[in-house]
């Protein structure tokens, strides 16, 4: 079925650009949008995890992983529970995108 409308477009002398944007793009645009919105939480988790262990952004930069670096030590977390607040925002952002 897909080859039929491409052949029909070729018979009508439709160029490659119009063929892609008029016939092919609407077919896979919804899949591309869904794939991107499902990939965003993975990117957020990846950046946060790398920054948390020190391989991502470094302390002058602002990142959820950088903010959570102080939570690695249990003494800091017990003394200052508010240091864990960025983790709640990470969870909320990931759940919102999913």
Chain centre to alpha carbon of residue 82: 27
Which domain, by its residues, includes 16?
A: 2-97
d(CA 46, CA 58): 15
Which SS3 state, helix, strand or coil, does residue 23 take? Answer: helix
The arithmetic mean of pLDDT across residues 73-96, rounded, is 84
Q: Which has the higher per-residue pLDDT, 98 or 12?
A: 98
Q: Does the pTM of the predicted model rise above 0.75?
A: no
Burial 21-31 (b: 16+ CB within 10 A, else e): eeeeeeeeeee
Backbone angles phi, psi at 56, to 5 degrees: -100, -130
How many domains are there within the chain? Answer: 1
CB 98 within 8 A of CB 41: yes
């Amino acid at each position: 079925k897909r080859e039929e409308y491409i052949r029909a477009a070729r018979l009508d002398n439709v160029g490659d650009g119009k063929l892609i944007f008029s016939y092919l793009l609407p077919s896979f645009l919804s899949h591309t949008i869904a794939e991107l919105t499902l990939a965003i939480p993975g990117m957020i988790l990846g950046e946060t995890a790398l920054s948390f262990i020190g391989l991502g952004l470094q302390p002058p930069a602002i990142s959820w992983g950088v903010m959570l670096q102080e939570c690695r030590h249990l003494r800091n977390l017990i003394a200052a529970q508010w240091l864990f607040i960025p983790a709640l925002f990470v969870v909320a952002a990931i759940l919102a995108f999913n």
